[in-house]
Amino acid sequence: MKLSGKPKGKARFAVGLDAGSAFTRCVICVSEDDRLRFLGHGVVPSIGWQKGRLADPLALSNCIQAAVQEAEKRAQCAVESLVAGIAGSSVEGGTNHGVYECGRTSRPISQEELSFAAERAANVRLDADRTLLQVFPQDFNIDGRSGYRNPRGMMCSRLEANVYILTAGTQEHEGLVTAVHHAHFAVDETIFEPVAAAYASILPEDRARGVALLDIGLHSSDFVVYDGDAVVLALSLPVSADHLTRDVAYGLTVSYEDAERLKVEYGCAILGLTADNSVIEVPSHEGRPLREAPRRVLNDILDARAEQMFQFVKSELNRIGMDQSLFEGIVLTGGGALLNGMCDMAERVLNCPARNGLAQGIRNWPDELDNPGWTTAAGLSMYSGRLNTHLRMKRDWKPRVPGLVGLISR
């Protein structure tokens, strides 16, 4: 890959780290004229994870160091801090509200009052094993009237903010941060990975019309739903790419590695898209000859598990009343989205458009990274760039609520 030119002057680097169960990915960009330009990337196989849980932070630290160093070498620069992604079943979300009494008489609402009301809504008592991760303002109620997204300047005597709050397990969160620190990098922010992927692959006007994103990783499938540009749901689903591979290994009595290869080379998540009547070679254990099996058997296994995955998605959409409101459909990211037929299965079960989410808005983004597996890392880098810009504009302002930076725009 041809290296991008080195930034001139004092560069503001935007660094995203996606420390997944399968791969650890790093993307380095530089902020230029309020836009990001790609500089370099690094990727190494991940170790230290066990069934989606971080079992060995020191092992992951070595992966992080190797991935960032590879990205630094390609980018011809050195970085000190980054934005890291977090996902998995330890992340939970819920809504809350906060009230700010403006006074007995109505007066115009200021930006500071909007922020203060949102911070009040985010001021929740957490259990000892929970850490506040992100806060997403949804809308505001003005003197009892609901549904105002940005009512700055409107006359009001009572302001109520509705927010969606994401928390993470303290042990899992601290384990990730510790791994980054042991790799000798600072953590500017930790972001729920599908939120980062949505930031990179979904335009604001699409979020406003209703859209969902499913980030399909090796050991977790993480889900976020936007309605009217506000987060209304964020959670982790109990089915991931690992389940599809294990099903193939069990159904065809092959090793996990052979099942993964068969899934990637011949698999399809929905019957009828490929030549299901063709025959594939199935590896056998040592000392036994190769076997043959109809391709339909493989795809029938994948079809059943993929349908189950999207049935979970459908159930969650029904629960929040969004089953018929995804006018921009569902976006698939993560390595699991690369399986042939995943978008077709999503459309069949959810009855809405489906597409793979690709990173947008980064100059010189290389073609080799233009796939759903790199979207989260790109979004984390973009979030890092936004964070740097916001803090540069407001050097004296200290955020009191993690994740609130820039979410109530000026």
**12-56 residue pLDDT tens:** 899 999 999 999 999 999 998 878 999 999 999 999 998 888 899
Domain 206-356: give its CATH code.
3.30.420.40
The answer for residues whose C-beta is within 8 angstroms of residue 40's C-beta and 6 or more apart is 3, 4, 27, 28, 70, 71, 72, 73, 74, 75, 76, 77
Least confident of 1-5, 282-286, 304-308: 1-5
Residue 244: which of 301, 283, 282 has the closest Cα? 301
Which of the four pLDDT bands, split at 50, 70 and 90, describes residue 391?
Answer: low
Cβ burial of 283 (10 Å; 0-12, 13-18, 19+) is: middle
User: Structural domain boundaries of the chain?
Assistant: 92-167, 206-356
Which of the four pLDDT bands, split at 50, 70 and 90, describes residue 308?
Answer: very high
Which of the four pLDDT bands, split at 50, 70 and 90, describes residue 217?
Answer: very high
* 406: pLDDT strictly greater than 50: no
**Cβ(83)–Cβ(17) below 8 Å:** yes
In the sheet that holds 158-169, the strands lie side by side as 92-101, 158-169, 130-142, 145-148
Mean pLDDT over the full length of the chain: 88
* 3: pLDDT strictly greater than 70: no
Highest mean pLDDT among 25-34, 129-138, 333-342, 385-394 belongs to 333-342
Instruction: Pick 172 or 410 by higher pLDDT.
Output: 172
The answer for residues whose C-beta is within 8 angstroms of residue 400's C-beta and 6 or more apart is 119
Q: In the numeric block, which tokens belong to residue 118?
A: 């949102």
Q: Is the dihedral of CA 111, 34, 328, 122 positive or negative?
A: negative
* 3-class SS shares of the chain: helix, strand, coil, % to 5: 35, 30, 35
Q: Provide the pLDDT for residue 404.
A: 39
Q: Provide the pLDDT for residue 298.
A: 95
Q: Which fold has domain 92-167?
A: Dna Ligase; domain 1 (3.30.1490)
Give CA–CA dist 404/105, Å, rounded: 29
C-alpha distances (whole Å) from 264 to each of 118, 214, 241, 269, 348 are 45, 19, 11, 11, 21
Could you report the per-residue pLDDT of 192-208, keeping only the tens digit for each?
A: 999 999 999 999 888 88
* 402: pLDDT strictly greater than 50: no
Which of the four pLDDT bands, split at 50, 70 and 90, describes residue 349?
Answer: very high
Q: Provide the pLDDT for residue 5.
A: 53
Least confident of 12-26, 36-50, 58-72, 381-395: 381-395
Residue type, 53: R
Q: In the numeric block, which tokens belong to residue 178?
A: 């510790």
Which of the four pLDDT bands, split at 50, 70 and 90, describes residue 82?
Answer: very high
Segment holding 166, helix H or strand E:
strand 158-169
206-356 has the same fold as 92-167: no
Could you report the per-residue pLDDT of 107-155, keeping only the tens digit for each?
A: 888 888 888 888 888 888 888 899 999 988 888 888 878 778 888 888 8
* 398: pLDDT strictly greater than 70: no
* pTM, rounded to two decimals: 0.89
Helical H segments across 240-325, by residue range:
241-251, 256-266, 295-319
Q: Provide the pLDDT for residue 277.
A: 81
